[in-house]
Amino acid sequence: MQGKFASYTRIAGACRALGATWAILFLALLLSVSCATKLAPIPEGISSAEIIQKAQERSDLYDWKGAQYYYKALLEKFPDDQVLTVTAMYELAFIEYKQGHYEAARAGFDAVIGKYSTPEGASLPQTWKILAEKVLAKLPVPAAPAAK
């Protein structure tokens, strides 16, 4: 423990020597470089499977913005493929759920379930509907509006 304290003391001393302004700028630069999600543009001709793989890789790293980026790209690049559309919709709603954004998650899961009541819904895999219903059942009940 003493080693860590000495290390923090040296860092604090260096910050004082640099001056508060430089220390703040250095810290801001360090945070912006380490926390930024830098995503490459989606190449032309990329397959849907490759986009989904990239989205899953981002999700595995808890990079929710990165995962959303790829699932939204899937929606944009393959708008006529209803299976890919419902897949991306489910995954986007699930990302909201994982982040604790329950109202956005609820809206997303409701939209997924709504896809199954369209004429194309009969040809969609039931997986996403079943999963959406299960996660919806776990969501906290929304608070009732306060009476005036």
**Could you read off the pLDDT of 67-108 as tens digits, one per residue?**
999 999 999 999 999 999 999 999 999 999 999 999 999 999
- Rounded CA-CA distance 12/72 in Å is 43
pLDDT at 122 (0 to 100): 93
pTM of the model: 0.71
Q: Give residue-wise pLDDT tens across range 8-58.
A: 455 555 545 555 444 444 444 444 444 445 788 898 999 999 999 999 999
Residue with tokens 């009732």: 144
- Could you give the domains of the chain? 2-35 (no CATH), 48-138 (1.25.40)
